[in-house]
Amino acid sequence: MYEPIKVTDELVFLNPNEVSITRNAFEELVVQLSDGTTHTKVDVIRSFPIKEPVRYISLVDSEGDEIGIVEDVRKLIPQSRDVLLEELQKRYFMPKITKINSIDGHFGITQWDVETTQGDVEFGMRSRYDIVSLENNRVLIKDVDGNRYEIENYSKLDPKSYALLQTQL
């Protein structure tokens, strides 16, 4: 009777077999499509930085226009995949907190002393908006400087860390 709106024709999903992503000497990403077009200085953006680290990666050209979306990085040809993964690793830095040593501070800013998968770090956190708990006991934290941290599953933390975290959620 009625046809659904065809919104997908607006979106460009790149065929994983026909995209080539390489890095040039200027440490810039070069994307080559099957139709022969080449884009340099390509930016890679996660559509869902928090929930989908390797899916729905938007490739944006130097003018800020979207070239297309890589639906799943893992489906790319290996060379492109590795370059893209490396770039994502660089662009998105979000250590996973494995242990909380202490959380201090009364007024506004709380000082955290934590151990992460990337090493030990101390940071300050401002408001309760900067700590977000998601489903599956996942917690995301943004510090006063804009750095991001995550806790994959807080119920798997040791009891002390868990107790400390509870005071902040």
Cα dist. 168→27, 87, 156 in Å?
40, 33, 17
State the nearest-atom distance from the C-beta of 34 to other proteins, in Å.
Answer: 22
Residues in contact with other proteins, shown as a per-residue x/- string from 24 to 53 under the rule CB under 8 A: -xxxx------------xxxxxxxxxxxx-
Q: What is the dihedral of CA 60, 32, 7, 4, to 10 degrees?
A: -160
Comparing CB distances to other proteins, the nearer of 7 and 35 is: 7
Which positions from 69 to 98 touch other proteins by CB under 8 A, shown as an x/- string?
x-x-----------------xxxxxxx---
Distances (CA, A) of 139 to 20, 27, 33, 95, 169: 35, 33, 38, 12, 9
Binders of other proteins: how many residues, by CB under 8 A? Answer: 68
Locate 31 and state its tokens.
């994307």
Task: Mark 95-134 with x for binding to other proteins (rule: CB under 8 A) and - for no binding.
Answer: x---------xxxxx-x----x-xxxx-xx-x-xx--x--
Tell me how far CA of residue 49 lies from CA of 21, 38, 67, 87, 96, in angstroms: 20, 26, 19, 14, 14
Cβ count near 151 (within 10 Å): 25
Q: Is 60 in the site for other proteins (CB under 8 A)?
A: yes
Chosen residue from 64, 136, 155, 159 binding other proteins by CB under 8 A:
64
Given the rule CB under 8 A, which residues bind other proteins?
Answer: 2-5, 7-8, 10-11, 25-28, 41-52, 55-56, 58, 60-64, 66, 69, 71, 89-95, 105-109, 111, 116, 118-121, 123-124, 126, 128-129, 132, 143-148, 166-167, 169
